[in-house]
């Protein structure tokens, strides 16, 4: 009996290891697709951008990444074994007037999939057609919930940052019985080296076009990943040939910052005021003694910043009526936690990923910190000032 249990545990460990390995590889592929689309997008819009019902921009990259990830996961683990929750649907792409947009998505997907062997993954035997791409996108229709296993994908988190040539992320997580068991976060514009972080990223982007940067410079993005319970989180550069990455062993362990004095801590918040109350977080920052200017960045790059020690605090307090989606947080949460950080709602409770697409039952907002000392101070400050917040 004991031997059978050990064999079962060993089998499960190997399966988890394969899932994480495939997830990292497919996010690397997705980052490459996004970089190609973003390079072609900057300075022009044409048929590369559409608009969703909520007026947030959708690009070829959103659908392209969703189709690519869906196709690869189904190929690696069997279509019948893969359930995916993802942000995009096919309604816009299926319209007659969207023929050009669909063609751009199909081309982007096939350009990406043909390079799958470079990442140690399998390409399709022939190019996918429009029907197959639409099927791959629409397969991402899981409703989530407290039971079973399902992947959670945000193909391009921070689409506004993406279309503006700024920060964005590709986020992929695996949930089992309501708990996030692995997360991968691709940040194509987030530099590997901390010293290249700057509020003047556009200047550096311009300069890098004039004079190509050296290896390891700011331009190289990063992919972060972690597995629940491992006590480890890792980062590797965004690459275009996985074989070369394996030869160079470029992945390195990351840890949260050890700073616990608010006077020296940096906090992150969303760029868009529509997504979070800047005035309330500014008041909180002052009350707990935060002195540095907030680091305002698009997307789950905020989670990456905390996980690797570039910042210490992320606070988000959405305005009334806004409901947080699980794909905006799942991957980032597990990476911060395994890197040694703390993520809860404003009541100090773990985020609940077991109740479908939304983070239902969220107490006021989300607080992520590099450690418990800062986290406790933020929680107390929220309690003391919430009644006057108007949120």
pLDDT, one tens digit per residue, over 102-129 is 999 999 999 999 999 999 999 999 999 9
Residues forming a β-bridge with 153: 86, 172
CA distance 279 to 267: 14
Distance CA 14, CA 12 (A): 5
Strand 222-227, strand 179-187: pairing: antiparallel
Return the closest-CA partner of residue 103 out of 182, 51, 46, 186.
46
pLDDT in tens, 358-382: 999 999 899 999 999 999 999 998 8
Q: Give every CB contact of residue 37 below 8 A, 6+ residues apart in sequence.
A: 48, 59, 60, 61, 64, 108
Known binding-site residue numbers for Mg(2+) = 87, 154, 157, 328
User: What are the angstrom distances between the C-alpha of 341 and each of 187, 311, 333, 373?
Assistant: 19, 11, 9, 11
Distances (CA, A) of 39 to 36, 208, 318: 5, 13, 32
Q: What pLDDT was estimated at residue 243?
A: 65
Distance CA 327, CA 334 (A): 12
- Show which residues are catalytic: 62, 159
Q: Where in the chain is the domain with CATH 3.40.190.80?
A: 262-388
Kindly report the CA angle at 70 between 68 and 74, in degrees rounded to 5? 120
The candidate with the shortest Cα–Cα distance to 354, out of 182, 183, 177, is 177
> Could you tell me how far CA 29 lies from the centroid of its own chain?
14
Cβ-Cβ contacts under 8 Å for 338 (sequence gap 6 or more): 226, 227, 228, 229, 230, 231, 232, 233
Q: Are 284 and 356 in contact (CB under 8 A)?
A: no
The values of phi and psi at residue 328, to 5°, are: -80, -5
Give the pLDDT of the chain (391 residues) as one tens digit per residue. 776 766 666 677 788 889 999 999 999 999 999 999 988 876 555 556 766 665 556 789 999 999 999 999 999 999 999 999 998 888 888 888 889 999 999 999 999 999 999 999 999 999 999 999 999 999 999 999 999 999 999 999 998 888 888 899 999 999 999 999 999 999 999 988 766 655 445 544 554 455 544 444 445 799 999 999 999 999 999 987 766 655 556 799 999 999 999 999 998 877 766 666 667 878 888 888 887 877 778 899 999 999 999 999 998 887 778 899 999 999 999 999 999 999 999 999 999 999 999 999 999 899 999 999 999 999 998 888 777 666 5
Q: Which of 3.40.50.150, 3.30.540.10, 3.40.50.10710, 3.90.1150.10 is the CATH number of 2-253?
A: 3.30.540.10
Give start-end residues of each CATH 3.30.540.10 domain in the chain.
2-253
Judging by DSSP bridges, how do beta strands 169-176 and 49-51 pair with one another? unpaired
Token pair belonging to 216: 């390891």
The two three-digit tokens of residue 221, written as one number: 């993005």
Instruction: Supply the pLDDT for residue 214.
Output: 47
Q: What's residue 50's pLDDT? A: 67
In 3D space, the residue among 116, 96, 122, 92 whose CA is nearest the CA of residue 32 turns out to be 116
Fold entry, domain 262-388: D-Maltodextrin-Binding Protein; domain 2 (3.40.190)
Alpha carbon distance 13, 17 (integer Å): 6
Residue ranges for the binding site? 87, 154, 157, 328
The whole-angstrom separation of Cα 188 and Cα 128 is 25
β-strands 222-227, 84-86 pairing: unpaired
Q: Is the distance from CB of 365 to CB of 257 less than 8 angstroms? A: no
Reported in sequence order, the residue ranges of the chain that DSSP labels E, i.e. its strands, are 49-51, 57-59, 84-86, 149-157, 169-176, 179-187, 222-227, 233-237, 252-253, 267-269, 295-296, 313-316, 342-345, 366-369
Cβ atoms of 58 and 160 closer than 8 Å: no
């Amino acid at each position: 009996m004991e031997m059978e249990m050990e064999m079962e545990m060993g089998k499960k460990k190997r399966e988890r290891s394969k899932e994480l390995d495939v997830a990292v590889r497919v996010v690397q592929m997705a980052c490459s697709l996004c970089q190609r689309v973003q390079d072609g997008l900057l300075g022009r819009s044409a048929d590369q951008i559409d608009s969703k019902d909520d007026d947030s921009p959708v690009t070829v990259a959103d659908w392209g990444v969703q189709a690519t990830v869906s196709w690869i996961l189904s190929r690696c683990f069997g279509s019948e074994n893969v359930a995916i929750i993802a942000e995009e649907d096919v309604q816009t792409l299926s319209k007659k007037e969207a023929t050009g947009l669909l063609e751009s998505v199909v081309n982007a997907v096939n350009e990406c999939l043909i390079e799958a062997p470079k990442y140690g993954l399998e390409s399709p035997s022939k190019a996918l057609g429009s029907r197959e791409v639409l099927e791959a996108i629409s397969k991402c229709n899981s409703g989530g919930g407290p039971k079973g296993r399902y992947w959670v994908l945000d193909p391009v988190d921070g689409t506004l940052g993406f279309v503006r040539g700024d920060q964005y992320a590709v986020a992929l997580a695996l949930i089992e019985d309501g708990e996030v068991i692995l997360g991968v976060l691709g940040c194509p514009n987030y530099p590997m080296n901390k010293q290249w972080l700057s509020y003047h990223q556009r200047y550096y982007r311009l300069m890098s076009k004039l004079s190509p940067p050296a290896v390891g410079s700011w331009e190289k993005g990063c992919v972060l990943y972690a597995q629940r319970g491992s006590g480890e989180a890792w980062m590797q550069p965004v690459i275009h040939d996985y074989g070369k990455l394996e030869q160079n062993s470029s992945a390195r362990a990351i840890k949260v910052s050890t700073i616990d004095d608010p006077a020296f801590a940096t906090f992150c918040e969303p760029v868009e005021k529509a997504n979070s109350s800047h005035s309330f977080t500014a008041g909180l920052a002052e009350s707990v003694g935060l002195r540095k200017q907030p680091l305002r960045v698009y997307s789950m790059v905020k989670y990456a910043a905390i996980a690797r020690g570039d910042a210490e605090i992320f606070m988000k307090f959405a305005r009334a009526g806004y409901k947080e989606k699980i794909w905006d947080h799942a991957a980032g949460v597990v990476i911060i936690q395994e890197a040694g950080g703390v993520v809860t709602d404003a009541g100090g409770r773990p985020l609940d990923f077991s109740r479908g697409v939304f983070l239902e039952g969220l107490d006021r907002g989300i607080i992520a910190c590099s450690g418990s000392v800062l986290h406790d101070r933020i929680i107390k400050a929220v309690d003391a000032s919430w009644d006057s917040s108007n949120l």
